Each structure stands twice: as structure tokens, then as C-alpha cells.
Amino acid sequence: MRPAAIVRVAIISLGALYLLLPLVGALEFALRMRRGVYSLDAFAAVFADHRFQDTFLYSCAQAVVTVVLGVGLIVPAAYAVRRHAPRLRGVVEFVTLLPLVVPAIVIVFGYVRLYGTSSFLPLTDSEWGANALLAFGYVTLSLPYIYRSIDAGLTSIDVRTLSEAAESLGARPHTVLLRVVLPNIRTAILSGAFLTAAIVLGEFTFASLLDRPAFGPFMQLLGANRAYEPAALSVVAFGLTWGLMVLIGTIGGRRRGNRG
Amino acid sequence: MGLAPFAAFAVLFLVLPTAGLFVGAFQDANGNFTLANIAGLATPVVANAFRESIIISGASALLGAVGGLAVAMALVGPGSPRVLRATMLTLSGVASNFAGVPLAFAFLATMGRVGVVTIILREALGIDIYAAGFNLLGATGLTLVYFYFQLPLMVLLIMPAVDGLKREWSEASAMLGATAWQHAWRITVPILFPSFAGATLLLFANAFGAVATAYALTGSFINLVTIVLYSEIRGEVLHDPNLGYALAFGMVAITGVCNLIYLRMRAFAERRFR
Amino acid sequence: MHAARVTTALTALVVSLGFSASAFAEAPAALIAAAKKEGQLTVIALPRDWCGYGPMIDKFKARYDLKINELNPDAGSGDEIEAIKANKTNKGPQAPDVLDVGLSFGPSAKAEGLLASYKPSTWAEIPADLKDADGYWIGDYYGVLSFVVNKDLVKNMPTDWADLLKPEYKNAVALNGDPRTAYNAIVAVYAAGLSTGATTTEAASDAGLKFFAELNKRGNFVPVIGKAASLAQGATPIVLRWDYLGLADRDTLKGNPPVEVIVPKTGVVAGVYVQAISAYAPHPNAARLWIDYLYSDEGQVDWLRGYCHPVRFNAMVAAKKVPADVLAKLPPAEGYARAIFPSLTVQNDTKAIVTKQWDSAVGANVK
């Protein structure tokens, strides 16, 4: 192999090894639930709970909604900022950084205050309203990641030239967005979608305080004071999240051309 | 315009809910205006917490940024099969949000004093990492654990930019007689720099705002802003939410300053390298 | 004869009703009806493994056919207070009806007008220093800080705080929280100080800090927040935790590994939690029904099944209302006889000293 290729493989292997390393400990411990032998008891306990399926599917659905909503909000905004309002770029970036440093618990209490029973938009009163509020909360939490990915994607393609070319050919703004920009930032959208899905599946604070049957609260319920089940659960969650992402990747990459 | 729905959403679901936080930072328990909370940020405990947080966040962000860039660049290229790239990206996606108590425990079970890998290294290879001075339960250990979610996060964030580096450019450079270094310095770096800086900033904010992992791993030892903040707002003991809001305000201010620095750097890079 | 039989039967029925009624006398039919009309109860910060709350919630749900919304079992006392404040105008299922908070939060929440007063029928049996005179908050249960030990990894059981300093416990001792922020960790520091013989609050807090500094210097202290998982895995073979949590861990781990809960010989400190109804509760009658259940004989014994000593414990033991099998599973009573119940002033003073000085006495900076 050429030296460059060796270096490449070495870096990737090192990275992958490091990311899989902690799982080793968690898995080994989870297998120790039955005294003296390795067994799958902890995993059986995790799957036996009927709430496992329900909460996982709920969170998967929320993940899809969040990704669609998030991308739908941010792609036009990032594009508009670049083309028409470059001075606002700093402001928009700062706003998208806020969810990382403002504690989730402050945001969710803010939601309850603003959109509770006696507000102008009483979302907490109905089932679908609370679900919507949770989705909005998730979109807020994923803002930084989606925006940063899209921004990196827009930087890497020459947005101005592309859109000017399209406009000179008579395309209207939304056509430019949908048919010129979007297909070219596919990698970026996929990155953002991955990060969002991972966040939604594991999120706890919002779901718990809004009283929604999500996977995060279930994991906390099962694992708070146990020993072996939480370790098994983290391994299982790892695998399930992987599965969801393969799904997203397959759907997202379906019409991909020859670009890797 | 495209910005309108986003602006409306941001105001309704991000700005308004957190507005109470900024108001609360300047109020006392009875709702009267006061600067005491802000003054409370200057106490040795809090100032120390800010310093620790900034150091650990900065270190893990830089490490993650460089490592992530290396992996991303290794994934893009003629030699990498599609499957490897897809697998690595998926692994990155999953790992990027594997944090909090589960991650802390996983590391303990793997690299702790009686962790699986620690024991294997000692029994099978005779390497005792703890005797050599390694300690998972300290600032370096915490940075190592933070690195776990920072690295894959960077991979995913910088991937779109790295993807955009066209092969044709390096071929053109080679044809024009440039060495690999010249190509890297004059073409790759300027193009990647804005995205790299932006992603690093995000990594910093990500670590800065992290609390669950730190609390689980070294909760009673290292003093971080987020731990103090959470204890003021939710705590069993301290419970001065206004001080908590002031702490959050301080964190937002620091993030704002970092953002300004980043904007400066980006403007400079864009001017310099045009 | 026929009539006499019927009368006897009726009398027997009435008498038996009377007996069972004395167990449920705390729940008048009007209250039950009103609660059922509300249809649900929202609780917060009640982990299922804590004091046996899991089975208690299920039992209550089944008996009165109410929906129970379990918010954020991970919440701290401060979270619960913030949740009430945030939900003042919200009547949805996100607004907590009842609280279970640390002792010091009772009076402060009452002062902020966040609580509603209610006295269950067994009010008289609750010790005066464990309840608010007007019924705004009521002590619910207590436990003492103990050593929870993994018997697989620790051969000799420590019997007192001083034992923990021995070299055989290197890299073994952990707290169950952060002394800068968690009540149980501060109590641990205070208890360690008391066991050195210090008598005043300040002396005990300082002595406690010195103890942990020494523990850290000798390499016995592990800065991880110890829990069931780290106890079993081996990272924290000795955890300083409330006894009821340790006993619950012992049951959950089912001998893998075997766990022993040891109440130290000296420095035995109890921690009290209190129940309260939110002044903004969307379901006040369901809340009152819940309080009635908790303070009935049945509810108190249910807490005891979760290894938490209920406030009416002494009165009930004297009246022989506690089943023998439940008593048998508890640690020996002598430990509790030595227990000190720190008053609110003592708590506040200890808190002030420990939270501020932990970092300089024991924290990572000391290295």
C-alpha cells in the first residue's frame, strides 16, 4: 500500500477503535448480571419491558419530525443570509450557539410558562400540542448542529455562482433552493440529520418535564438505580441509534450520483 | 424571505423562553433589580469554575477539532471505499451523542482502576497504566472522555467542507508544480479555515455547556460552571436560581465573545486568502 | 333465629367494616369521589426504586382508578420548586400536584406561597418538629447515612468513620453526591466530623472537611458519584449513602455482588424529607387523597417496605402496627437510637461551611 493510504487507514482505525473502546467495558459489565457466568439477563430485562418498544418508536417519530422541521427552517435561512444579508451571519450564528450553553431545564421551564394553559398559545393542554412543543424543543436543541453542517456545506459549494446561474436561466427563488442548492448540500443535510437523530433519541429533560412518553425518560426510569440494566441499555441504545442512522443514510443517499 | 420562518421560530422557541433567564440574572429572590448576582460571579469559587470549564472545554475542542479533521480527510479520498466512509460516519453520529452518565460509566468500566482494558493491559501485557500515572478521574481524564464525543462531532461537521475539496484542485496544483505542502497551505487551509473555525467554536460551546458527563465522572472533585449552575437552579442545597441565571448569563457572554473572536478570524482569513 | 343470624351477620359485617375503615378512615368518600372526578395526579421527583415509591404509585393508581403522571424522577428539590413556579398558570399534566423535598425546602417554599395546607387524619401522631404547625408541609420519612459495601471486593467491613482511613480501603470510598451541591454528601461530611468528637456545628463541619482531605491524601477517596452501578462494577466498592437506598441496592443486585449496609458506630446523622401540596395544583383533591394514603397505616408501612423510616414509626411500633417481617428486614434499631436529627439552623450552617470550603480543603486544586 502507498504510504498515504497506510496513514489514512491508520487514522481511521485509530478513530474507530477509540469510539468503540468504552463499549467494551459497558458490554462486559452488562454480561455479568448473572453471578459467575456471562449471560444476556440484563438485555432480556431491558427488552422485556413493554414500554421499550412504545417509547423507542415515539422517539424515532419525533426524530424524523425534528429533522424535517429543522432542515426546512434552516436551509432557507442559511441560504438567505448568505445571499441577501451577509451582515446578519454573525448574529444568526450566535443565536444558533445559544442552545448549547443555555441549560435545557431553563428552556423547558420557559416553554411551560409561555405556552401553558392560560397563554396565547396553550400547547400544553392537548396531546398533539405537547407533542408539537416537544418537537419544537428538539429543533431548538439541534439548531447548532444543523446550522453548522448546512453552513459548511454552503461554504464548500459556490452558492453565489450556482444561484446566479440558475436565476439567469429564469429559475424562481424557491426553485433555486429546491433544485439547485439542496441536492448539492446533501452531505451537509445528512450530517445534520445524523446529529439530530442521535440527540432526539437520547434526550431526557424536555421529554420528562413535558410529560411525553419518549425513550430518554424510559432509559432513566429503567436505569437510575440499577447496575447491569443501564449498561445493557446503553449498548442497546448505541445499536438502535446506529440502525436509525443507517436508515436515514440509505433514504438520504438513494438518489446519490457517483460522488462518494 | 427565507429568514422569516427561522426568525419567528427562534424568537418563539429560543429567545422568548430564555429572556426570563436574562431578566432573572438581574433580580433577587423577590424580583427587585440587583447586581448582586453578577457580583457573585467574581467570587473565587465561581471564577475558578469558569477557568476550569474554559480550560477543559478549550482543550477538548482543539483536540477534537484536529482529530476530527484528520479522520474526515482520511475518509475522503480515492482510497476509501464507500462502505468504510458510511460506516465511520454512522459510528460518528452515534458516538457524538453518547454522553452523560452512560458514557462516564462506560469509561469507568473500561479504563477505570478495575476496568476491563486496564486489567487486560496489566495481566496480559504487563502494562499498568495507573502506575504510570494515568488517572481517569481528573482533569486529563475528563478531557479524554469529552474527546469521545467531540471527535465524531467534528467529523460530521467538517465532512461537508472536506467533501467540497475537489480532487481536480490538487491535480491542478500538481500540474502547476506545487508541492503537497504548498497546495495544503495555499489552497486547502484557506478554503477549510472558516468551516474549521466555526466547527471548533461549536465544539467549545458543546463542551462548555456539558454537565451530565462531568458530574457523573468527577462530580465531587472538579469545579465546573455547569455543575455550579445546575446546583443553583435545581439544587438540593444551594438553590439560588437567580445566581444560576447569572451564571448562565456569564456563559452566554463568554460564548458571545468567542463568537466575536471567530468572526474576526474568519474575516481576516477571507481577506488574507482571497 | 333467622333474624338473630342476620343480625349477627350484619354486626360482624359492620365490625369488620369498622376495622378496615380504621385503616381507610383517612379517606372519606367525598374526597375519593372528588379525586376521581379530577381523574389524575401529577407527581415529580419520585424514582421508582426510592423508598418503594414504584409499588406505592401502582397501588394508588389501581385502587382509585387515577392516571398518575410521573414527571422527572431525576429531579432535585430545587427542580420541584422551579417546576411549581413555572407551571403557575398551567393546568396541564406538566404541573406537579405534590412534592417530596428536603427539609429545608419546606419553610422556604411556604414563605414563597407555593404550598397549600392539608392535615391528614393521623396528624396528631406526627412529631411536632417534623411538621409545619399549619400543615403546609409534613415530614414524610427519614434515613441515616451509612456505608454501603460491596462484599466481593471488601474483605473487612468498616464499622466506623475512622476505619475508612485505613490503607486497606485504598481507592474505595465514594460519596453519593457532590458536597458542593448535594444534601446527602454534606450530611456525610458533617457526620464524619461528628464522629471525631466535635460538638459544635462549626467544629464538626471543619473536622469533617479535614477528614475527607485526609481520606483523599491517603488515596482512599474516589471522586466518582457512587451509585449501584459503580458499586457493583468495582469503581466505588464503598459508597456513603442513605441507608434506604443502600438496602434497595442490596435487593436489586440480588447478591451479585452481595452488599452490606453498615450504620457507623459514631456520627449517625438522619436526613428528613417532607411532603407538600402545591398551591397551584391542578388536581388538589387527588393530591389530598395521596397525602391521606401516605400517612395512613398502610402508606407508612409501604414506606417502611422501601426501607425508609416513616415519621409515625415510633408511634406505630408502640401500637404494634408494623408487621414483623417488615421489621426484620431493617437494620438493627440501635443504629437509629444514636441518630441525630439536625435542625434547620444546623443544616444551614453546615451547608454554608461545607459548600464554600470543600474545593479548598479537598478539591482537585489541592493536588
Among the residue ranges A246-255, B58-67, C150-159, the one predicted with the least confidence is: A246-255
* Chain B contact partners (≥3 CB pairs within 8 A): A, C
Cα dihedral across residues B106, B109, B111, B117: positive or negative:
negative
Give the CA count within 13 Å in the CB-facing half-sphere of B166: 8
Segments forming the whole domain that contains residue B77: 34-272
Cα–Cα distance measured from residue C237 to residue C154, given in angstroms and rounded to the nearest whole number: 7
Grid cell in block for residue C335:
443504629
**Cβ of C175 and B220 within 8 Å?**
yes
What are the residues facing C222 on neighbouring strands?
A: none
Grid cell in block for residue B47:
471564577
Continuous H helices in C119-240: 183-195, 201-217, 228-233
Q: For A125-179, how does the pLDDT look when each residue is reduced to its tens digit (9 = 90+)?
A: 778 888 999 999 999 999 999 999 898 888 888 788 888 888 888 888 788 888 8
Residue C15's pLDDT band, with cuts at 50, 70 and 90, is very low
Whether CATH 3.40.50.2000 fits C28-142+271-334: no
Residue C3's pLDDT band, with cuts at 50, 70 and 90, is low
Q: Name the domain count of chain B.
A: 1
The CATH code of the domain that includes B257 is 1.10.3720.10
**Cβ of B109 and C233 within 8 Å?**
yes
Q: Specify the CATH number of the domain A50-220+228-252.
A: 1.10.3720.10
Q: For C280-293, how does the pLDDT look when each residue is reduced to its tens digit (9 = 90+)?
A: 999 999 999 999 99
Per the document, the length of chain C is 367
Can you state the angle between helices A89-101 and B241-272, rounded to 10 degrees? 140
Mean pLDDT of C130-153: 92
Chain C residues within an 8 Å CB radius of B223 = 180, 359, 363-365
B243 has pLDDT over 90: no
pTM higher than 0.80: yes
B56 in a domain, yes or no? yes
Count Cβ–Cβ pairs < 8 Å, chain A vs chain C. 100
B173 in a domain, yes or no? yes
**Cβ of A109 and C82 within 8 Å?**
yes
**Cβ of A149 and B106 within 8 Å?**
no
Mean pLDDT of B79-94: 84
- The one-letter amino acid code at B191 reads I
Cα–Cα distance measured from residue B138 to residue C216, given in angstroms and rounded to the nearest whole number: 13
Cα–Cα distance measured from residue C350 to residue C340, given in angstroms and rounded to the nearest whole number: 14
C316 has pLDDT over 50: yes
Continuous H helices in C75-178: 77-86, 105-111
Per the document, the length of chain B is 274
Q: For B112-135, how does the pLDDT look when each residue is reduced to its tens digit (9 = 90+)?
A: 888 899 999 988 888 888 887 788
Q: Which residues contact B239 (CB under 8 A, 6 or more apart)?
A: B231, B232, B233, C77, C78, C81, C105, C108
Higher confidence at residue C211 or residue A211? C211
Cα–Cα distance measured from residue C147 to residue C70, given in angstroms and rounded to the nearest whole number: 30
Chain C residues within an 8 Å CB radius of A105 = 79, 82
C224 has pLDDT over 80: yes
**Cβ of B89 and A202 within 8 Å?**
no
Cα–chain center distance at C290: 17
C16 has pLDDT over 50: no
Contact B219, B226 (CB under 8 A): no
Cα–Cα distance measured from residue C126 to residue C144, given in angstroms and rounded to the nearest whole number: 19
Chain C residues within an 8 Å CB radius of B109 = 233, 235
What ipTM goes with this model?
0.84
A258 has pLDDT over 70: no
Higher confidence at residue C56 or residue B243? C56
Chain B residues within an 8 Å CB radius of A188 = 159-160
Grid cell in block for residue A235:
449498548
Cα–chain center distance at C297: 17
Question: Pseudo-torsion of CA C160, C166, C172, C174, nearest 10°?
Answer: 50
- SS3 of residue B136 by DSSP: coil
Cα–Cα distance measured from residue A33 to residue A45, given in angstroms and rounded to the nearest whole number: 10
Q: What phi and psi values does residue B221 have, to the nearest 5 degrees?
A: -125, -50
Model pLDDT, residue C358: 87
Cα–Cα distance measured from residue C54 to residue B267, given in angstroms and rounded to the nearest whole number: 58
Element (H, E) at B193: helix B189-208
Residue C274's pLDDT band, with cuts at 50, 70 and 90, is very high
Grid cell in block for residue B238:
444551594
**Cβ of A100 and B93 within 8 Å?**
no
Domain ranges of chain A: 50-220+228-252
- The one-letter amino acid code at A93 reads E
- The share of chain A scoring above pLDDT 70, in percent, equals 95
Q: CATH topology for C143-269+337-366?
A: D-Maltodextrin-Binding Protein; domain 2 (3.40.190)
Mean pLDDT of A16-31: 91
B54 in a domain, yes or no? yes
Model pLDDT, residue C25: 47
Continuous H helices in A41-185: 41-48, 51-84, 89-101, 104-114, 127-156, 159-168, 173-175, 182-184
Mean pLDDT of C67-81: 86
Model pLDDT, residue A248: 81
Q: What's the mean pLDDT when you consider all of chain A?
A: 85
B74 has pLDDT over 80: yes
**Cβ of B234 and C225 within 8 Å?**
no
- The share of chain B scoring above pLDDT 90, in percent, equals 17
What are the residues facing C100 on neighbouring strands?
A: C275
Same fold: C28-142+271-334 with C143-269+337-366: yes
Placement of cell 430564555 in the chain: B18
C8 has pLDDT over 90: no
Placement of cell 441496592 in the chain: C249
Q: For C336-353, how does the pLDDT look when each residue is reduced to its tens digit (9 = 90+)?
A: 888 888 888 898 899 889
Contact B137, C223 (CB under 8 A): yes
Model pLDDT, residue A209: 81
Element (H, E) at C58: helix C53-64
For residue A3, the tally of other CB atoms under 10 A from its CB is: 7
For residue B156, the tally of other CB atoms under 10 A from its CB is: 29
Give the residue from chain C lying closest to B130, CA to CA. Answer: C171
The DSSP line for C243-298 is: HHHHHHHHHHHTTSS-EEEE--SS--BEEEEEEEEETT-S-HHHHHHHHHHHHSHH
Cα–Cα distance measured from residue A173 to residue A170, given in angstroms and rounded to the nearest whole number: 10
- The one-letter amino acid code at A89 reads R
Model pLDDT, residue C367: 32
For residue B98, the tally of other CB atoms under 10 A from its CB is: 23
Q: Strands C270-278 and C40-44, how do they pair?
A: unpaired
Cα–Cα distance measured from residue A230 to residue A161, given in angstroms and rounded to the nearest whole number: 52
Cα–chain center distance at B113: 27
Model pLDDT, residue B79: 67
B53 in a domain, yes or no? yes
For residue B265, the tally of other CB atoms under 10 A from its CB is: 15
Mean pLDDT of B237-263: 83
Nearest by CB: A140 against B14, B67, B75: B14
B61 has pLDDT over 80: yes
Model pLDDT, residue C23: 44
- SS3 of residue A33 by DSSP: coil
Q: For A182-214, how does the pLDDT look when each residue is reduced to its tens digit (9 = 90+)?
A: 888 888 898 889 889 988 988 888 988 888 899
Cα–Cα distance measured from residue A36 to residue A46, given in angstroms and rounded to the nearest whole number: 20
C17 has pLDDT over 60: no
- Counting other chains too, the contacts that C313-316 makes at CB distance below 8 Å and 24 or more residues apart are C315/C125, C316/C125
- The share of chain B scoring above pLDDT 70, in percent, equals 95
Contact A230, C229 (CB under 8 A): yes
3-state secondary structure B84-143: HHHHHHHHHHHHHCCCCHHHHHHHHHHHCCCCHHHHHHHHHHCCCCCCCCCCCCCHHHHH
